[in-house]
């Protein structure tokens, strides 16, 4: 039997080009049978789910379910942790309705029905949360992510996807990669990985807490969201031909065997770059490097 906890469903009706709105009635019907007192909050604009998460922390909500893409739990979690760790422990359930829904793929959850079944079965997994601080308009900002952080190329791809290519659905990420490659890369990155200093030029970087990004790209096949570490995947001194070769392998995860792909594991990382690089976390564009991150092991209970 599921514990009797204060339960809230946060709905992003715009997720997946309106898929969140279409799924909402069926999802609500199934959940309310088990959680008759469940509250429902609808995210009406970008950043609204952050406000809902902050409200939930302030008022002691114990179980929060999200219906949307990867960005909806990202906002909710950052609202929950806006003032630090919530006073009340929170369980988080995710029901996929977005374009990518990358985080749930680590648990082999691809449909809203499977996700709801997992929630109602009371399955719980402890997963790591990653705390980051970075620069935004001259100010230091602290946030958290569950899935992936992209530095440079990956963030540029997301920006291009969001601004021009969303209409291509699951093909949008791949098309954005190809279009972004036409610009090439000119940068220098300075990393400190658990105290070890590293330098890379003409490179792109992904910091993963889980295996997938972009809906089906197995960007970090060795990642484990509950191991207390992040996995860094660095595309080192890559030209356009290299990136195309690597990208052709990324859906199977075999790209990490490419000689220009380097991987590291760490609990704490700092990243600086010249020029400053754009940052992306869990499908949301953030600010710019420099960046510091640390893993909070087993911080969240995920219903999956």
Residue 138 scores a pLDDT above 70: yes
Judged by average pLDDT, the poorest of 43-57, 104-118, 195-209, 238-252 is 238-252
CA distance 154 to 156: 5
Per-residue pLDDT, averaged over 246-252, amounts to 89
Per-residue pLDDT, averaged over 199-216, amounts to 90
Per-residue pLDDT, averaged over 50-66, amounts to 97
Residue 170 scores a pLDDT above 70: no
Per-residue pLDDT, averaged over 252-276, amounts to 96
* Among the listed residues 263, 138, 282, the one whose alpha carbon sits nearest the alpha carbon of residue 214: 282
Decide the pairing of beta strands 261-266 and 39-42. Answer: unpaired
In DSSP terms, 235 is beta-bridged to: 204, 261
Residue 65 pLDDT class (50, 70, 90 cuts): very high
Residue 113 scores a pLDDT above 70: yes
Residue 85 scores a pLDDT above 90: yes
Please report the pLDDT score of residue 60 as a whole number: 95
Residue 181 pLDDT class (50, 70, 90 cuts): low
Domains of the chain: 7-122 (3.40.50.10330), 130-296 (2.60.200.40)
How much of the chain exceeds pLDDT 90, in percent? 71
Instruction: Provide the mean pLDDT of the chain.
Output: 91
Residue 182 pLDDT class (50, 70, 90 cuts): low
Residue 208 scores a pLDDT above 70: yes
Of 164 and 188, the structure prediction assigns the larger pLDDT to 188
Question: Could you tell me the two tokens for 144?
Answer: 């958290």
| Cβ atoms 280, 70 nearer than 8 A | no
CA distance 217 to 221: 9
113-130 in b/e form (b: 16+ CB < 10 A) is: ebbbebbbeeeeeebbbb
Which residues have CB under 8 Å from 88's CB, separation 6+? 57, 60, 61, 62
Residue 177 scores a pLDDT above 90: no
CB atoms within 10 A of CB 259: 7
CA distance 110 to 6: 26
How much of the chain exceeds pLDDT 70, in percent? 96
Residue 17 scores a pLDDT above 90: no
Which residues have CB under 8 Å from 224's CB, separation 6+? none
Judged by average pLDDT, the poorest of 121-125, 206-210, 221-225, 290-294 is 121-125
Residue 135 pLDDT class (50, 70, 90 cuts): confident
Residue 92 scores a pLDDT above 90: yes
Per-residue pLDDT, averaged over 78-107, amounts to 92
Please report the pLDDT score of residue 125 as a whole number: 94
Peptide bond into 290 cis (omega under 30): yes
Residue 166 pLDDT class (50, 70, 90 cuts): low
Give the HSE-up count for residue 280: Cα atoms under 13 Å, Cβ half-sphere.
24
């Amino acid at each position: 039997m599921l514990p009797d906890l204060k339960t809230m469903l946060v709905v992003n009706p715009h997720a997946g080009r309106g898929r969140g709105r279409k799924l909402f009635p069926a999802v609500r019907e199934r959940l309310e049978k088990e959680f008759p007192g469940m509250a429902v909050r609808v995210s009406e604009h970008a950043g609204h789910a952050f406000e809902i998460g902050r409200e939930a922390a302030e008022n002691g909500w114990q179980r929060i379910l999200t219906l949307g893409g990867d960005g909806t739990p990202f906002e909710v979690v950052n609202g929950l942790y806006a003032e630090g760790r919530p006073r009340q422990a929170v369980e988080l359930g995710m029901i996929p309705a977005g374009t990518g829904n990358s985080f749930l793929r680590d648990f082999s959850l691809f449909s809203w029905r499977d996700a709801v079944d997992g929630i109602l079965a009371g399955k719980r997994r402890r997963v790591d949360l990653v705390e980051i601080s970075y620069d935004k308009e001259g100010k230091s900002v602290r946030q958290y992510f569950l899935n992936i952080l992209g530095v440079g190329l990956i963030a540029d791809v997301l920006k291009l996807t969001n601004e021009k290519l969303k209409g291509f659905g699951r093909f949008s990420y791949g098309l954005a990669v190809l279009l972004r490659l036409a610009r090439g890369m000119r940068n220098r990155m300075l990393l400190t990985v658990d105290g070890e200093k590293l330098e890379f030029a003409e490179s792109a970087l992904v910091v993963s807490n889980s295996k997938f990004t972009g809906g089906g790209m197995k960007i970090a096949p060795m990642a484990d969201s509950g191991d207390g570490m992040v996995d860094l995947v660095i595309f080192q001194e890559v030209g356009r031909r290299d990136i195309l070769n690597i990208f052709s392998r990324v859906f199977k995860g075999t790209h990490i065997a490419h000689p220009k792909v380097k991987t590291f594991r760490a609990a704490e990382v700092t990243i600086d770059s010249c020029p400053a690089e754009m940052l992306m976390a869990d499908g949301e564009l953030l600010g710019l490097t420099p960046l510091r991150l640390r893993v909070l092991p087993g911080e969240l209970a995920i219903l999956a």
